[in-house]
Amino acid sequence: MSTRDEYVKKLQVKLEEWNADIDKLAAKAGEVRADLKSEYAEQLEVLKAKQTEARHKMEELQKSGGSAWEDMKAGIELAWSAIGEAIDSAKSRFK
């Protein structure tokens, strides 16, 4: 397995973890007070958008050839960091 393939596999595992986190937050959305529902829904939309962006970047990485994936790695790391921080923030905010 190439280094790129190993990296993509690591990204996929993390993305699946985030999917589970977002699903848990979405389930909690139905249980929050009425005055928090819109805020919760907005936060979930932001998380889903970041998740979609991260998935697209991962797909671009998978399609990249040769050493081009190394150049893309920094952008992917930024996207991954952003979604990780957003999920952590949402989880702590809506406990």
List, for residues 42-85, the tens digit of each pLDDT value: 888 988 898 888 888 888 888 887 677 777 888 888 888 888 89
Kindly report, residue by residue over 6-16, the tens digit of the pLDDT: 888 998 999 99
Residue 30 structure tokens: 């139905």
More confident position, 1 or 9:
9
pTM metric for this prediction: 0.76
Number of alpha carbons in the 13 Å side-chain half-sphere of residue 30:
4
Q: 68-93 and 34-63 helices cross at what angle (nearest 10)?
A: 170
